[in-house]
């Protein structure tokens, strides 16, 4: 419901925490990692320094 784990599957936004991996087979999946320029911003650095991680699904949404 929060949308932090949103990824784009074949051009449509879906919540990764509720989307079964089997449904992604053969599709184009775009994640937040696709949007990076190669350099970390201050928020990303702070997450690393403070160990602010979740299960992995929603962390990219918090960072961006």
Q: What is the pLDDT of residue 35?
A: 67
| Residue 1 located in a structural domain | no
| Per-residue pLDDT of the chain in tens (64 residues, 90 and over written 9) | 687 888 899 999 898 889 999 999 999 998 877 766 778 878 778 888 988 777 766 777 777 6
Tell me which residue range forms the domain holding 37: 6-63
| Residue 13 located in a structural domain | yes
Q: What is the pLDDT of residue 45?
A: 84
The structural domain count of the chain equals 1
Q: What does pTM read for this prediction?
A: 0.64
Q: What is the pLDDT of residue 27?
A: 97
Q: What is the pLDDT of residue 22?
A: 95
Q: Compute the distance between CA of residue 60 and CA of residue 40 in angstroms, rounded to an integer.
A: 12
DSSP string, 15-32: ETTTS-GGGGTTS-EE-G
């Amino acid at each position: 419901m929060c949308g932090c784990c949103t990824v784009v599957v074949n051009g449509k936004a879906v919540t990764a925490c509720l989307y079964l991996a089997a449904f992604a087979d053969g599709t184009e999946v775009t994640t937040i990692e696709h949007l990076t320029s190669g350099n970390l911003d201050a928020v990303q650095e702070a997450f690393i320094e403070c160990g602010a991680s979740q299960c992995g699904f929603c962390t990219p949404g918090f960072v961006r």
